[in-house]
Amino acid sequence: MTPLLELLEFAVTRLRTPVVRGLSFTLEPGEVLTLVGRNGAGKSSLLEGIAGLHATSGELRCGGRPLAGAAIPERLRAGVVLCAEGRSLFPEMSLRENLLLGGYLAPRDAALRRAEELLARFPLLAERSAQKAGSLSGGEQQLLAVCRALMSGPRVLLLDEPTGGLAPLYRGAIAALVREVVAEGERSVILVDDNLDFALDLADRVLALAGGREVFRLTRSDRPSADLILRELLAAERRATPQDEGRTNREEA
């Protein structure tokens, strides 16, 4: 089976600083890949690099189609959709308009139908569909951002902190949405979330990053837990520390 997403020696540079280096992995259809690592490890930058927001090098393919160097609209047409950290809504537009903008590449009828489906699913959003997005509460904005990402029918959905500011009720709803996206075995999700219990619960595979590099991988059979991840990250840092100390000592000398 052709992997849905392939990265080979993929690197991301942000504001002239390399933030992801030499990363290679594939993403199979119907799979949820959870990225873990400390803040600053390069998780969000990786998602943004795949979405085309930063300069990248290396190979990137979606369904066998090369996307390295492709413009953002081309990536969107290929089905690579990012729900970025920080929501990035249009505050002066209504909730419904924000939602429809997420589906602007799809035929209008399909976009309207999809918007109605999502609003029916989240009564909290339906109640406020005419309200300006900027006047919604933080959690409502977050929910809207996730729904907007779903409007274009993504093949590879990149979710960055989708539960930030969400109460448990809606965290559960987001988890159900993610499961639904991958249920038919045609679409995949790459997930970053600091709520490790939430992120690991959904994960088929886990990829850990530190300093922009891969440090370890786990699969569902490894029974990844928050404690295991932290232990492994700590061990990886310890393995890296002696070299750093050596370097620091040389600098001090």
Partner 1 sequence: MSGLEELPRDRRWHQRLTGPPWQLRPGVSRRGRRLLLPLLLAAVLAAAELAAPDSFLTDLLGTACIAGIMVLSWTVFCGPTREISFGHAFFIGSAGYLAGFLQARSSWNPWSALLAGVGCGLLLGAFVALFTARHRGLYFSMVTMALQLTLYRALFLRSDLLGGEEGIVGVRSLAATRTGIYATVAAALVAACIVVDAFLCSRTGLLLGATGENEQLARSLGVRVALLRLRGLTLAGALAGLGGGLYVLTQGQANAELASEEISIRTLLLGTIGGLWSVPGALLSVFALQGVQAALFRLTRQDALAYTGLLLGLVLLLPRGLLPLRPRWPRQRSCPRPTTLGPDHDAPGLMLSDLGVRFGGVKALDGVSLEVVRGESIGLIGPNGAGKTTLLSVIAGVRRAEIGEVRWGGRALGAMDEAQRARLGIRKTHQQVVYFPQLTLDEHLAVAQACWQGGEFEVDAAALQRLAACDGAAGEAAPLERLPPSRARLAEIAMALAAPPELLLLDEPFAALDREEVEAVCEAIQALQRRGVTMVIVEHRLRELFRLVERVVVMDHGRIISRQPAAQVLDDPVVREAYGLREREGNAG
Interface residues toward partner 1, by CB under 8 A: 14-15, 17, 38-40, 44, 85-87, 124, 127-128, 130-131, 135-140, 142-143, 161, 164-170, 172, 194-197, 227, 230-231, 234, 237-238, 241, 248
Residue whose CB is less far from partner 1, 3 or 139: 139
Q: How far is CA 206 from CA 54, 192, 229, in A?
A: 23, 10, 9
Residue whose CB is less far from partner 1, 24 or 88: 88
How many whole angstroms separate alpha carbon 47 and alpha carbon 157? 10
Q: Which residues contact 228 (CB under 8 A, 6 or more apart)?
A: 218, 222
Q: Which residues contact 227 (CB under 8 A, 6 or more apart)?
A: none
| Bridge-based pairing state of the strands 55-62 and 5-14 | antiparallel
Q: With CA atoms as reference, report the closest residue to 8 among 61, 48, 74.
A: 61
Residue whose CB is less far from partner 1, 92 or 186: 92
Residue whose CB is less far from partner 1, 5 or 236: 236
Q: Which residues contact 137 (CB under 8 A, 6 or more apart)?
A: none
How many whole angstroms separate alpha carbon 222 and alpha carbon 60? 28
Residue 71 CB, nearest approach to partner 1 (Å): 21
Residue whose CB is less far from partner 1, 120 or 230: 230
Residue 190 CB, nearest approach to partner 1 (Å): 17
Residue whose CB is less far from partner 1, 99 or 111: 99
Q: With CA atoms as reference, report the closest residue to 155 among 87, 105, 216, 195.
A: 105
Residue 201 CB, nearest approach to partner 1 (Å): 12
Residue 142 CB, nearest approach to partner 1 (Å): 8
Residue 234 CB, nearest approach to partner 1 (Å): 6
Residue 112 CB, nearest approach to partner 1 (Å): 23
Say how many C-beta atoms besides its own lie within 10 A of residue 49's C-beta: 26
Are 62 and 220 within 8 A, CB to CB? Answer: no
